[in-house]
Every structure is written in C-alpha cells, then in structure tokens.
Structure 1
C-alpha cells in the first residue's frame, strides 16, 4: 500500500476521496457517534493547518483552502494540539463507555505522537518539501473520477492560491524556500535532505508536471489554464533553486539521526528496538527460504526444469511475461479465482460487488512506484470504495535510464499481489470498516502501517494454500521480501549495509527486478525510512493473536468468524486487537 512521510500525511495519502454508487453502509451506533464528536477535536487541528489533508480524509468545507506557508506554524500547531489533548484527557476522566474510552486513548496517543515527531524533526532536519509532488497529489486526488464534478471545479481556486494569483497569496514555491532559509538561519547545524532524494525529486518533476496538465486537460474543469501556466513557470524556477541552492547542502549520507529513525518506527507502529526486529526477521528469512526451495523443487520436477534452486525457478517463471493489453484481464481473472476460493474455503465474508483494479499512469509511477491501494475516504463516506493501482515501472534516474518491473506482469506473480491489494487484503479491509460503521478514531487516527499492512500480508498467507504451485512460490517470495525489509531497512539506516548492498541483495537473494529493487532501496533510504518493516511486524503480531485464539478455542475456532471479527475492529493497534479478541471474540465463540 501507499506510503509517505508524517503521520497525518500518511493518513491523508492513504485515504483518498471517492464517490460511487451508494451501498448499504452500517447505521452509526450511539458509541460511534459519541466517539466521532471527540475525534472532531483533532480533525479541527488537521483542517486548520493542512486543509488539503482534511479534504482527503473526507472533511467537508475545505476544498478551496490551502496550507498556510506564509509563516512558521510550529508553535501555533503545538499549542492547538496540546489544547486538544487537554480536552480529550478531560473527557476521558468522565467517560464510562469502554469503547469510547478506548477511542479517547487512541486520539490522545496520536496527538502526543504528533508532538513528539514534530519536535524530533525540528531538532535535526531542514524542512525540505517536494513542492511538485505535493501539488500533483492534490490535483490527482481532486480530479479522481470518483469525485463529483462540482467539487473537482474547486481545484481552480487552490491552483490560483498556490500560484499566488489570488488576493492575499504568494507563490507556494517562494514560501517553501523562505521557510527553509528561516530554519537554516535559526540553526546552521540542521541536516539537509539526502542527496539521492533531491536528485530523484528533480528527475520526477517534469513527469509530475506533465501528469498534472494531462489530468486537468482530460477533466471537465474550466478556467484552470492561467493558474497552471503560472505554476509551471514557478515550479521550473523552484527546480533551479533546488538544484543550485539546496542540492549542494544535501547530505551525502542517507542515514537519519538515530532519534529520528526510532521515531519513524514508532509512527509506523513498530514498538520494538531495531536490533530485536533484525533478529526476528533474519530467522524468518531463513525459514521462508527453505520453504521456497521445497516448493521450487516441486515445480522443477513438474516442469522438467534443469535447476531446482528457488532463484532459478523464479527466473524461469518470470519469462512468462503478459502483454500489456492482457495484464488487466489477467488480474480480473485472478481476482475471480481468489474470490471463489475464499467463499469455498470459508476464509472471510465477501461483498457481492466487484473490486476495482487499474493501471497507474506514468506520473503515478513517479509519485508512488510500488503497487498500492487507493483507499476510500473514511469520514462522511456515502458509498465509495477503494481501487487497486498496479504500477508498471520506476521513473527515469539521473542518467535517464528507465527501470521497468517484471515482478507483477507474469502469471505466477499475479496471485499474491491481488490477494494483498484487492481481496481479501486492503480493498476488503477498508470496505469492511465502512460497512461495520467503525469510528473515526479507529479508521483514521489509529491508522499506521503495522495495523494496515499486517492484515494484507496475513491475507496473502490465508490464500497461499489454495493457489497453484507457481503462485505459492511467489506468495512465499512476497513473504521473503517482507522479512528482508524488516532487517535491511534498519540495517541500512544503522550503517550496517550500503544502499547498493541492499539493492544487490534484493535482486540476488529475493529475486526482485532491478526496478523493484531500486524503489525498495529508495523506500528504505529516503522515500519512507522505517515503513517497510511494518509488513513483517504487523503480520507477526496478527498471527500471534490468531494463534492465541486457536489455543483458547481449539476445535471451536472458526476462521471466517475470526477474520470477520478482526476486520470489524478497524485499524486498532495490535495490543488492543489482542485484547478485543481474547475478551470479546473468544467468549462469544464458546
């Protein structure tokens, strides 16, 4: 699934706006209504300081507003966040409903985490902002075909404000530069962004600008041309500024200060030390690799292949690349086959409607190279669902070399990716929250990668036994990759392996294409350091909870009932999920 920097930006980037046909969503329960009133305190802070994020979350009334970069907002944001925490703590003291109390604790912790992250980043890092990527994200979200036409038209007001054409506004590019110089003047010791990150941003900029123009030209929005023409010139000038003024200050070492990296892990939901995570993942990697060699040996015997090593067998299977015009029909077929197995085996309850899968545009490849799920808004949702976005390659690097993927466009590799991003993975995960009527605290403010990605990797494992042998091999490869992430990401950030060492390991030992290995290495080093560890850790914690339930229930354990219960809880942290399973699910099954 998608990943970005910063808790609220991660929430907003993963909760895209959408409007489709109206389904039968759950009526809001009384405790959910009360909890959502509490969540409004934090939503108001988001809306005040990042209206674009508020719009993405589904909060109405902010479609034309933009983030105010005209002055440093650090102190005022902290002041408002502390005030919200104080009020939430006051409400917690007088609350008796256990579910509302639990949600209040989630809200308080989220706000406290935000304060800590803001302080740590302020202490060490220059406030570098990839303005072009920011604007592309806003344009893409607003012009999503699932958005009503009248709301799409409001992008013009935002473009005019970003370009400084609206009264009282100055170009966002100049404001971003001013805030950077302001912090540098205040503290000359602040670390600049990683050189590789800045170079990649400069390489991606033309693709993203072109992508914005194409989205606007294809839309029914009227009057966007003058503001966008001004923005194009401003972004080009800003790229020159970044190239001449910021790039020389960029740090050559990708590693973050230990305090910043540790905070990243916490924000993504990993609550153990990096060294403990590395130890767990190394052991798991070796065990999965053994399973892969067993499965690869069966395939080699079945197909009369000369080399039974898992790497050789995967390489042979990857040769069966699907033509571009056949990729989407293949994934539609895979989804139908997986859904049939889910129903036949009683794995989890599925809706009758179809899931949506589509290919990414070149600009989307640049913004988010990995396949991902564009989730529906979880606030004020009136019947919209997410879509699985299949990326096709990396944007060109500094030399102009373009790296394609061969990881998802072959027969065997399509099984587990569909299970992860579509069903029974992310698409079902977010749909179930909507249909169960989950509170804003559980759907939005409890959101982190461990809570989300743990389920998707678990969904892959649930489907593996019902896939053909070649599909099972690549399901194991996907799990091997997640274990590798969980030791390579902390190792590269601790200086125990180089970025190039990460890339070669992923290509040689995990069997990834150069394009996929490159985006993985970039994910660990600058796109989102720490995030990649969340898949492995979230899966481990969810499997622990399931096994505890199985031990408690033995023959009375019902897999479908368990999986439905987990999805109905929303995105609660592993400890809260374990508590709900043992205190609610287990007794109900007895």
Structure 2
C-alpha cells in the first residue's frame, strides 16, 4: 500500500484495509441518487485508468479490462482529472442541496489531492510495480465467494490479457519494464523504492504465486492452468529482473522526501504537522501506559503474580495461547459477548444477522500481515457480507524463518480486536452506512484512514468497560499501540529514530510480538508511511466531537443515538462530522427533550 500508486489503486488499497459488511440495502434517498450521478464523473476516470479497481468496487462493465501499461499515462490521467474537476466545480456553483454540495466538495478535494500526489510521485520516484502482489489481489478479489460466478469467469479474459495471450496484448511484465526504463531515460536521478520493500516483495512472491494457484484450483473456472502457467513463468522472470536490476538501485534510506511524507499524512486524513502529531501522541501514550500499569496491578493481585509490571503481566497472560482449532470458536464467543453487552448497555443499534470471522491463508498473511476486514463490493451490492480476516503471522523469510503472532490468539487479546474489526467497529460502521443510504462520495471518495479508523478505535473504547480485567488491559495496550504509532511513524520518517529502534520499543514498551512489531515497522517505512498515525488522530477528533455534544446536551445526551447518528453520516471528514453533530444531532435532541 504505497503512496506511489495511482489514484484508483490508492483508493482501493485503503478500502481493502478496512471493514465492510452489508445488510439489506435501504431505498436510496433522492439526494443520494443525485450525488451518485455526480460521483460518476470521478468514477469514470477511475475506471478508465484502473478498471480492476472499478470492478472490485462493483462498477459494471470493467470485469474483463486491465490497466494499460502500453504507454505513459501521466499526462492523460491528469488531463481527464482536471476535466472532471472542472465539471464538478460547474455543478457545485448551481447546486442548492446542502448534502449534495458537501459531496461535490468531497469529490473535488479528492481529485485535487490526487493531482498533487501524482505530481510528487512523478517528481521523485521511478515507477516500480510489485506485479505479483497486484496479481494476487486481482485473483483473490475476483474469485471471492461473494462475487457471482458469472463475474468470476472474467478472470480468464484478464489472464489472457496480462500474459499477452490475447490478440493485441503484450505481457504486462514486459510493459512494466518498458515504462520503468522510459522514465529512467528521462530522469536518471529518480529515487528507487526502499530496499526493504524490494526484499520483502521478492521474499513474498513464491507464497503469493502459490496462493493464486490454490485459489484457481478451488474455483470452478475451466482452462485456467495454461494461462496461469504462463503468468507464473512471466512473474518469476520479472521478479528475477527486479532482484538483479531494481534491487541494486533501491534506496537504503527508508525516509521519504518531507513534502511526500506530508502529502501522505494529508491523504490519510491527518491535517496537522508531524511535529504536532508527535507531541500529542507522546503525552497520550504516557497517560495510557499509566492506566495499563494500574490495571496490571489489579490483575497481578487477583492472580497472585509476583511481578506487577504491566510488561510482565502481559507476557504472563500471553502464555494462555489458544489451540488453533479453538481460535474461531473462541472469537465467536467473544463476538456474542460483545454484542450482548452492546445491546444491554445501549451502545449502538446492532443488526440481527451474524458477522463473519475466518483465519487468513498464508498468502493473505503475505499480502496484508495485520488483521483486517475483507470488504465486498461497495457499488451495486445486493447483500454480500464482509469478513473479519484474522492473520496469524509474517510469511517465511529467505532463511525459512517465520514470525508467528501471539498477539491475537490468547484469551485476553481476543476482546479488543473483535470490537475493532467486527462489532461495534468496522463491520457496524459500514453496515450502518449502507443501511441509511450513504452516497458513493461518502462511501468511496471520502474514504481515508482517519475517517475509518477513528471509529474503530472509538468502538474499542466504548466496549472496554464491559470486558474482563485482562481484556481491559489489552484494550489499553491496543490504544497505547495506536498512540505509539502516531509518534513512531513520523519519528522514523523524520530520522529521529531508527527502524530497529521502533521495533525494540514496540516489543519492550508496547508488548507486541516480534512478528507484529516487524509488520509495524514495514508499515511505517514502506507499506504505508503515515497511515498508522490515523487511528490515534481519528479517535481524538471523534472524542472531541462527542464531548462537545455531551457538553451541549448534558443530561439529555443519549450515547446510542449519538453513535447511530455518527455511523449514519458515512465516512465524512472530522470537521464535517462535527458540523453535522452540532447543527443536526444536538438541536434534534434538544427539541425532542423540550417536547
């Protein structure tokens, strides 16, 4: 998940890191219908330059199309993006509906941000494509059981085009290499990708290729074998060239140019400086750590532990690892307990349908090491479900060593991650959004990590009081990790701490396993520099809004109504959410109390 990726893939990768589960879809309000017509202007640009992303979102008509690497698309993309902005600005000038106007501004802001990001990537970096990881994403998304069988057949057409077996097409591996050499010829001083990223890509490639073959073998597609054999051969050769030609050019310094890192933060939704973010999160981490120690003292006394240091207490609790065959049943129990507490305590309105949790495959571990939700289509969805995917560790490295996570497979560690990824976290967030008929602008183009992850961390905090004491300790650990991310990510990108120093801090002071700490370092340095800060910042902004509503309403504040209202807004930016709460929710509650 790199900022170097084009707009369409940037949007898609953000979506893949989040939770989504859709209930029965409500009738679409009139303002949403009008807004979605406007969103089509930008969706058309997305579909033209990244049809794989468009079809994954649910846009019809692009299942058999592939990205065009036959020529440099930079100028053409910018031209179409500027034309889209001009059209959207024209519509904004005459629009009278306040919500449609807000959505038009969301669309314009997203397109303008992309123009800036594309210019920065063009200025600094050579165009490197991790094609094996990209192809795995396409295969996995297309063969997802939630996708209709008829649409899955399109994968065969795409494989023919990727491999050059289709008439008029050449292997995408050759085209990617040509575009790389073209840009290097134009500017020999372009920065290469970070060395650690290339090494990880080379290391993960066999696992991802195996994962693709397994997915195809389980599918009902006929005649995939020769197509995939050709693709596998081409990707293997491409990865060999990456090792011999790109790896020597890779930069040893993980740090991004300052304006690129600042742009990353903005795209993820963080609108303050790295220095201010560091200051806020350092203070917050210290306060959370104090709460962790208080809770650890209570647990040590309760269980007779001789050493009450929170690090030691967490290490002792982590020893209660769950046998593999009992992991999923235990998570089902945790989900049921959280749902019961949410209903009894009136935290949020829950649906009656079940949420889905499953263990990740080895290839999914390689593609996205952290636990996550796998979303169904966002557009044209007819009731497909989302899945909470529980990852189990890092893929084996070049020596065969595999770093297994122990962070989510012990008794106490199962509570908070379930609240975050399932209910009342991400799963509820997106389900409620679709239930209330949220527009494409708010579901897709307003999607950034601050708007998404703030709710999930808030959901963890909402459920913490109703968890057992050991669960509460690891809920605090999870919140402390998010605060630590918000200073470690900018510090490592500003050169104030080394990647190894980050790993040591996460293992010793936060209590993460080596595998979890390793994937965190990768996240900060090359998977998604800046993204990890969004959890802390989004949570803070949401808590500010809630507290403002509580101050305004005092005894009339209703937590369940507030949480339902927040979810119904979709993925609006914090400032827009604050405006909606103070100008719509608070007056409505005051009026209701007066009546």
TM-score by length of 1: 0.98
2:300 aligns to what? 300
The C-alpha deviation readout for 1:366-387, integer Å capped at 9, x for no partner, is 0000000112322111111211
The C-alpha deviation readout for 1:147-175, integer Å capped at 9, x for no partner, is 11111111000011000100111111111
Alignment of 1:541-556 (within 5 A): 541-556=541-556
Residue pair 2:21, 2:430 contacting (<8 A) in 1 also: no
In the TM superposition, residue 15 of structure 1 has moved relative to its aligned partner by 4.2
Q: Secondary structure of the equivalent of 1:407?
A: coil
2:37 aligns to what? 37
1:263 aligns to what? 263
1:355 aligns to what? 355
Structure 2 CA distance for aligned equivalents of residues 14 and 323 of structure 1? 32
The C-alpha deviation readout for 1:18-52, integer Å capped at 9, x for no partner, is xx999531101111000000000000000100000
In the TM superposition, residue 11 of structure 1 has moved relative to its aligned partner by 2.7
Residue pair 2:369, 2:519 contacting (<8 A) in 1 also: yes
The C-alpha deviation readout for 1:327-352, integer Å capped at 9, x for no partner, is 00000000000000000000000000
Q: Secondary structure of the equivalent of 1:72?
A: coil
In the TM superposition, residue 4 of structure 1 has moved relative to its aligned partner by 7.8
Residue pair 1:292, 1:473 contacting (<8 A) in 2 also: yes
| Residue 281, structure 1, aligned to residue 281, structure 2 | yes
2:111 aligns to what? 111
Alignment of 1:51-66 (within 5 A): 51-66=51-66
2:483 aligns to what? 483
Alignment of 1:419-434 (within 5 A): 419-434=419-434
In the TM superposition, residue 12 of structure 1 has moved relative to its aligned partner by 1.8
In the TM superposition, residue 223 of structure 1 has moved relative to its aligned partner by 1.3
2:192 aligns to what? 192
Alignment of 1:402-413 (within 5 A): 402-413=402-413
Structure 2 CA distance for aligned equivalents of residues 380 and 233 of structure 1? 36
Q: Please, which moves more after superposition, 425-434 or 311-320?
A: 425-434
Structure 2 CA distance for aligned equivalents of residues 342 and 317 of structure 1? 25
2:394 aligns to what? 394
Structure 2 CA distance for aligned equivalents of residues 502 and 290 of structure 1? 21
Residue pair 1:161, 1:171 contacting (<8 A) in 2 also: yes
The C-alpha deviation readout for 1:169-202, integer Å capped at 9, x for no partner, is 1111111111111111111111000001000000
Structure 1 CA distance for aligned equivalents of residues 12 and 123 of structure 2? 25
1:333 aligns to what? 333
Residue pair 1:15, 1:376 contacting (<8 A) in 2 also: no
Structure 2 CA distance for aligned equivalents of residues 431 and 60 of structure 1? 22
| Residue 453, structure 1, aligned to residue 457, structure 2 | no
Structure 1 CA distance for aligned equivalents of residues 280 and 45 of structure 2? 38
1:76 aligns to what? 76
Residue pair 1:335, 1:423 contacting (<8 A) in 2 also: yes
Q: 1:15 to 1:448 in 2, by over 3 A?
A: closer
1:85 aligns to what? 85
Alignment of 1:166-177 (within 5 A): 166-177=166-177
The C-alpha deviation readout for 1:464-483, integer Å capped at 9, x for no partner, is 00000000000000000000
2:290 aligns to what? 290
| Residue 158, structure 1, aligned to residue 148, structure 2 | no
The C-alpha deviation readout for 1:425-482, integer Å capped at 9, x for no partner, is 0011111111111000011000000000000000000000000000000000000000
| Residue 382, structure 1, aligned to residue 382, structure 2 | yes
In the TM superposition, residue 325 of structure 1 has moved relative to its aligned partner by 0.4
Q: 1:108 to 1:141 in 2, by over 3 A?
A: same
Residue pair 1:15, 1:57 contacting (<8 A) in 2 also: no
1:47 aligns to what? 47
Alignment of 1:219-234 (within 5 A): 219-234=219-234
Q: 1:181 to 1:22 in 2, by over 3 A?
A: closer
Residue pair 1:305, 1:313 contacting (<8 A) in 2 also: yes
Structure 1 CA distance for aligned equivalents of residues 332 and 445 of structure 2? 33
Structure 1 CA distance for aligned equivalents of residues 256 and 23 of structure 2? 45
Q: Secondary structure of the equivalent of 1:155?
A: helix
Q: 1:23 to 1:123 in 2, by over 3 A?
A: closer
Residue pair 2:489, 2:533 contacting (<8 A) in 1 also: yes
| Residue 344, structure 1, aligned to residue 344, structure 2 | yes
2:235 aligns to what? 235
Q: 1:38 to 1:21 in 2, by over 3 A?
A: closer
In the TM superposition, residue 8 of structure 1 has moved relative to its aligned partner by 3.1
Structure 2 CA distance for aligned equivalents of residues 440 and 134 of structure 1? 24
Alignment of 1:315-326 (within 5 A): 315-326=315-326
Residue pair 2:22, 2:430 contacting (<8 A) in 1 also: no
Query: Number of matched residues?
Result: 587
Structure 2 CA distance for aligned equivalents of residues 14 and 384 of structure 1? 19
Residue pair 2:9, 2:50 contacting (<8 A) in 1 also: no
Structure 2 CA distance for aligned equivalents of residues 224 and 24 of structure 1? 34
| Residue 504, structure 1, aligned to residue 504, structure 2 | yes
Structure 1 CA distance for aligned equivalents of residues 469 and 400 of structure 2? 38
| Residue 94, structure 1, aligned to residue 94, structure 2 | yes
1:526 aligns to what? 526
Q: 1:554 to 1:256 in 2, by over 3 A?
A: same
